Structure 1
Amino acid sequence: MKKINRFFWFCSGAHIDTLKKYPIEHNKYVGIGATIFFTALFAALSGGYAMYFVFSGSTFAVLWAIFFGLLWGTAIFNMDRYIVSSINKEGSTNQQILQASPRILLAIMIGIVISRPLELKIFDKEIRSKLKTSYMKGQQSKIDSLQKTYGKKYTMELGKNAELKKEKDSLERDINRSRYQLNQEVFGDKTNQTSGIVGYGTYAKQKAEILKEKQDRLKTVTDNINQMDQYLSSRKDYEGLNSTKLFSEKQLDSLANVAGFSDRNWALGQLSFNEKGERDLDTYLAIAFIGYLFILFECLPVLVKLMSAKGPYDVAVAKTAQANEHLAERDKERDIAVTDEVYDHHLGTDVDKRKRLISGQAEYDLERHSYD
């Protein structure tokens, strides 16, 4: 537990040797450090997941995801650690809030960035379904567009083919009717269209000739239709209509599996709307609150540092900082005094030379270098 505590103290950005002297502050900084660590862990998972989709299909996709995840998590860890450790508890509440405002805004942006890839993973099933629907609609729209273009481009040929098919249907009905009347004429059935004389007589021969003419015309029309169908089929191949088909379920699954980060991000945004284009409040709130949760989690270390009262550790750190400032000022004054003493020793009472040195920093530095 001591090693774990020291690790979380390090994560919080606290000065460990100073913090050890104040046991009452230990738990607070363990909590702050743990929050920073787990935020960085979530950031690493988020970055790695996002990078995995960037290199999806590549042999080294997993290695790139691990590398970028560790890199991104480390960057977020150092940034959060700096944000928390740089908040000064010496000022008033308003001063602390003003000081922390840029850091809170940065934390919000980081929370948004790390939450999005994790949201993509959480709603993976719904995103796949939305992508499959989108791909199917896109393919149907493409087919409709091709058919519309094809219809406009070959309007004359399609119209002629339709007329030939109507004529074929009409001829087939007439042939059936003529064949029936011919049978009636041969067998001597008396009707308005037959003579009632049994045998293959003059009237039967006339009806047989009419039937043959219709059959010959039907054969010609059928040949023309076949030629036109072959031509239109070749034009469909050329225009891409025959090769463009609706996706099967297996193809849709494959497309959803290889969908990139941009497509999945779009699908996640579309989950908040139903088929009518109206906002689906339940799904919208579910996605939004997950994002808000990560934003709050990212801001939590800063908020905890702001809400916590100034403790003995903060006082000790402030005193140490003041002492260091005083020591720095004393060292600076001592260096100036030693420098002046050295120049006095070398220059003596030469007033003209002293004025010349003071008149310009460049000359002063040059003269000092010569004496050194």
Structure 2
Amino acid sequence: MENLTQFFWFCSGAHVDTLKKYPTEHNKYVGIGATIFFTALFAALSGGYAMYFVFAGSPTAVIFAIFFGIIWGLAIFNMDRYIVSSISKSGSTNQQILQATPRILLAIMIGIVISRPLELKIFDKEIRQQLKTSYLNGQRSRIDTLNRTFDLKYTAELQKNSDLKREKDSLEKDINRSRYILNQEVFGDKTNQTSGITGYGTYAKQKESIVVQKEQRLEIVRKELTAMDSFFTGRKVLDGLSDQRMFSGKQLDSLANVAGFADRNRALGQLTFQEDGTRDLDNYLAISFIGFLFILFECLPVFVKLMSNKGPYDIALQNTDDTAIYHSGRTMDKDISVIDGVHDTRVNTEIDQQKRQLTRSGNIDRDLD
């Protein structure tokens, strides 16, 4: 327990030698240090999980995740430790709040950053389902876009193909009707379109020739439709339309497993909306509360430091700082005095040298006269 206490004191950024003199302050800084440590631990897990998805599928993904998680956790630990230890209790409440404001804003940003990857892990099942839905809708939209582009590109050919199909259907109906009338003519059935004379006579031959003409035209139309179908099949292959298929369940599972961090983050955001675009309040609150929890957890050391009363440790630490500043100022004054004395000595020496040179120059001038 003593080693654990020493470790949490270190995490809190406290001056251990000074803190040991005041037992009433020990638990407070153990709590602050523990909060900073666990915040860094969650940050390491969050950063490692995010990096794991960056290198997902690579055999070195776990190694990179562990390495980055440790580095990220140490960075957050160092930043939190500095934020808490830099808040001074010597000023008034307003001064302390003003001093802590940028640190609280920084803590909020850190809380948002470390909470997102953990939210992705917590809602992993829902995110996978949302990814499958998104991939399926995206593939359907892609196929629809290609079909619209194809239709615009071959508008004339498609119109001709549609006309041929209508003509084919019309011819098939006419041929069936004409054959029925021909049979009535041959068997002597009296109608408004038959003569009522039994046998293969003149009227029957006329009606048969009409049927033959329609069948010949139908054969031509069918050949043209076959040619058009071959044309469209070849064009769909060239345009890549024939290769597009809707994803199967196995393909969707595979795509969801290899989804990157950006896709999963986008899917998490989509969970907060329903299909009609309205806000899904249940999912939104669940995801938001987790983010708020980590933000609060990150800001908690700063809040604890602000809410705690000014204790004997804070007074002793302030006195130590004031003493160090005072002695540092005295030492600096002495150094400045020494520097000024040396400077004055050098200046006086230079003036004496200049006087001697002027005197020597004056003597030379008199000798010359």
Pick the aligned partner of 1:352 from 338, 349, 352.
349
**Offset at 1:75?**
0.4
Taking the aligned partners of 2:67 and 2:135, their CA distance within structure 1 comes to 32
Taking the aligned partners of 1:151 and 1:354, their CA distance within structure 2 comes to 100
Taking the aligned partners of 1:145 and 1:341, their CA distance within structure 2 comes to 87
Percent of aligned positions with the same letter in both sequences? Answer: 69
**Offset at 1:155?**
1.6
Distance 1:19 1:195, change over 3 A: same
Which position in structure 2 is the counterpart of 1:16?
Answer: 16
- Name the amino acid aligned to 2:63: L
Q: TM-score, normalised by structure 2?
A: 0.87
Taking the aligned partners of 1:70 and 1:312, their CA distance within structure 2 comes to 36
Which position in structure 2 is the counterpart of 1:218?
Answer: 218
Q: TM-score, normalised by structure 1?
A: 0.86
Which position in structure 1 is the counterpart of 2:356?
Answer: none
Taking the aligned partners of 1:116 and 1:350, their CA distance within structure 2 comes to 67
The answer to which of 335-344 and 195-204 deviates more is 335-344
Which position in structure 2 is the counterpart of 1:165?
Answer: 165
Taking the aligned partners of 2:352 and 2:270, their CA distance within structure 1 comes to 77
SS at match of 1:160: helix
Which position in structure 1 is the counterpart of 2:4?
Answer: 4
SS at match of 1:241: coil
The answer to which of 324-333 and 243-252 deviates more is 324-333
- Name the amino acid aligned to 1:18: T
- Name the amino acid aligned to 1:300: L
Q: Which runs of 5+ in 1 are unaligned?
A: 357-372
Distance 1:213 1:325, change over 3 A: same
Taking the aligned partners of 2:252 and 2:346, their CA distance within structure 1 comes to 94
The answer to which of 31-40 and 289-298 deviates more is 289-298
Distance 1:174 1:333, change over 3 A: closer
Which position in structure 1 is the counterpart of 2:294?
Answer: 294
**Offset at 1:350?**
9.2
Which position in structure 1 is the counterpart of 2:322?
Answer: 322
Alignment pair present for 1:142 and 2:120: no
Q: Which runs of 5+ in 2 are unaligned?
A: 354-369
Which position in structure 1 is the counterpart of 2:230?
Answer: 230
Distance 1:130 1:349, change over 3 A: closer
Matches within 5 A, 1:126-205: 126-205=126-205
Matches within 5 A, 1:1-372: 1-332=1-332, 351-353=348-350
- Name the amino acid aligned to 1:148: R
Distance 1:166 1:338, change over 3 A: closer
**Offset at 1:338?**
7.2
- Name the amino acid aligned to 2:312: P
Distance 1:24 1:194, change over 3 A: same
**Offset at 1:297?**
0.6
Aligned Cα RMSD in Å? 2.6
Taking the aligned partners of 2:322 and 2:47, their CA distance within structure 1 comes to 40
- Name the amino acid aligned to 1:318: Q
